Amino acid sequence: MTGTTEHAVTLQDLRVGQVFETGSVVIGRDDIVAFAASYDPQPMHLDDVAARDTLFGGLVASGWHVAALTTRLVVDARPFGATPMIGAEIERLRFRRPVRPGTRLTVRLTVEAFEESRRPDTGYARIKVETLDADTGEVLMVQGWKMLLPVGDGA
């Protein structure tokens, strides 16, 4: 690690129980509709009036939109520094609560476990990823990321 180059985080830099928190972003009505028009064009995501007649009683974001914004918040927070975020697997992604326009999202990452990979110079970290309503603290979405990370020099 030098003064001018961002540190590339390795598995040896992490410990079980370690928590990272990200910044926040408001998910707006127009963004919800635009994402849905491209990727999940269903009434509950596209139109306020049509959404009233659905299970949700009003417009809600596509779960994939919330997942994509979750990734954006984590990428921007750079918890692994210069190490690229490479996901091998998502374990059990649960949509806990509908996400309505105007919700401010933030993300909490918790390191849960480590696993070996086939290559000796890499390994996996299991990380719990919770997407929260930043104002109420409610968990909106929770998932487990199995991430590929380099093994440090000291391993």
Choose, by CB under 8 A, the member of 1, 3, 92, 120 that binds a copy of itself: 92
Closest CA to 74 of 124, 25, 29: 25
Binding of residue 114 to a copy of itself (CB under 8 A): no
Specify the residue, 2 or 38, whose C-beta has the smaller distance to a copy of itself: 38
Binding of residue 72 to a copy of itself (CB under 8 A): yes
CB of 39 to a copy of itself, least distance (A): 4
The residues pairing with 24 across neighbouring beta strands, listed in sequence order, are 106
Choose, by CB under 8 A, the member of 2, 4, 5, 38 that binds a copy of itself: 38
Longest dimension (CA), the chain: 59
Specify the residue, 65 or 111, whose C-beta has the smaller distance to a copy of itself: 65
Question: Is 97:138 a contact under the CB 8 Å cutoff?
Answer: yes
For residue 139, the Cα-to-chain-centroid distance in whole angstroms is: 12
C-alpha–C-alpha distance, residues 132 and 95, integer Å? 11
Residues binding a copy of itself (CB under 8 A): 35, 38-44, 54-55, 62-64, 67-69, 71-72, 75-76, 84-95, 143
